Amino acid sequence: MWTSALQLVFIGFYLQVPTCYPSCTFYGLVANCPSRNHYWVPTLPPNITHLYLQMNFISEINSSSLRNYDHLQQLDLGMQKVPLVLRNNAFLRQRKLTTLVLGSNIGLQMEPRAFAGLFLSLAANRFYCDCNLESFLKWLNVTNVTFASPTEEYRCEFPAALQNLPLGNFSRVIEPCGEDDAKAIQDLQLALFIFNAVLVITVILSGFIYARLRGHIFIIYKTIVGRVLEGPKPNLPVDEVQYDAFLSFSENDYGWVEAALLKKLDNQFSEENLFRCCFEARDFLPGEDHLTNIRDAIWSSRKTVCVVSKEFLKDGWCLEAFTLAQGRMLEELTDVLVMVVVGKMAHYQLMKYQAVRAFVQRREYLTWPEDPQDLEWFYERLVSKILKDTKVKKFAEDQPEPAQPDAQTQEEEGIQLENIGPIPCQL
């Protein structure tokens, strides 16, 4: 019983302190309450001597706000987050007040008799003479508070151009804070906002357009360029070669190649097409040796287009054609070989074959697009590659080597450790 009673008292005491003065810290008679979200002067013990209320939301000090605190010696009301108004007779009873801090209050207003009853010295202030001082000067002009030193002695401290100018002289030249500046800043903010919004929208739109509409835009671009330039269709260079392009592909890919490439390129499939193409099923001489046929096709065509698919890589003749065309390329130093990679193919699959690897590593090749809207662009590049005769550079490592049909069997048997090592020179 006795212990429970004691505990109750203790809890009551413990609860009492924070509920009465919840947001001030006391050190004897010093009340410290900065940044505690006070909207008016809090209720505190009447005998306090120091009261620190900076950085709160106090908007008014009137004759009743500090009525209870007769013993105040120091009062800090600086840096309020809202405009502060000092009403008449606000400090009437603070006879002992020696320091009153009002610094850094934006829009501070003082009624003429706000400091009635105080013996005021403003000599320690360093006045910043700009348009914000206007309300203070007005107050100074109308107040009849007694000052410790004559107000005529107050001088501007800043800015440098006005240093030591008496406040009285400054009050004759002061210009009210222009709304021009505020308006200019507002306009600037608006312009900045619009600019940012436009920028963000542009970035998003360009991403969207690229992802969804690039194919259409390319076609429109081609149409416009075609209309504007209206030049004759590109003339094929007239020369003695029999074919424009030899298409080398695996027999198993014939259906696809016919639909995707021949119908778009070969002039026997459609009148609109530019090229005389050559491919095994139609143009090889029956009865002739296959290798001779391939060699003839390569040398009597301006370009060799290799359609590199999984089937192509399995086909020894195709690889042979690739190697021969590459040999011709290195001999004539023009890019007679055009490589088109078709179907999902991992890079390592291409790299397994010596001839293909050398090409993939150093030359540009075309890839059949996954997105149908990129088709137009692909054809455009393919046609221009067939038309153009670009010189190629010879790389030191470009060694035309015979295709290695056995590479494939090796790979199917799995990796053999003894085969790892420097590739033996084949001469």
Ligand X SMILES: *[C@@H]1O[C@H](CO)[C@@H](O)[C@H](O)[C@H]1NC(C)=O
Q: Name which position in 49, 74, 109, 169 contacts ligand X (CB under 6 A).
A: 169
C-beta of 29 vs 392, nearer to ligand X: 29
C-beta of 142 vs 200, nearer to ligand X: 142
Q: How many residues bind ligand X (CB under 6 A)?
A: 20
- Tokens in use for 159? 């800015």
C-beta of 24 vs 325, nearer to ligand X: 24
C-beta of 59 vs 349, nearer to ligand X: 59
C-beta of 49 vs 334, nearer to ligand X: 49
Contact segment (CB under 6 A) with ligand X among 74-82, 133-141, 215-223, 380-388 equals: 133-141
Footprint of ligand X on 105-124 (CB under 6 A): 112-113, 116
C-beta of 40 vs 299, nearer to ligand X: 40
Please state the closest distance from residue 146 (CB atom) to ligand X, in A.
9
Q: Name which position in 73, 171, 300, 399 contacts ligand X (CB under 6 A).
A: 171
- Sheet with 243-248: strands ordered across: 277-278, 243-248, 301-308, 337-341, 366-367
Please state the closest distance from residue 5 (CB atom) to ligand X, in A.
24
The contact mask relative to ligand X for 29-68 (x = CB under 6 A, - = no) is x----------x----x-x------------x-xxxx---
Q: Which residues bind ligand X (CB under 6 A)?
A: 29, 40, 45, 47, 60, 62-65, 112-113, 116, 137-138, 141, 144, 165-166, 169, 171
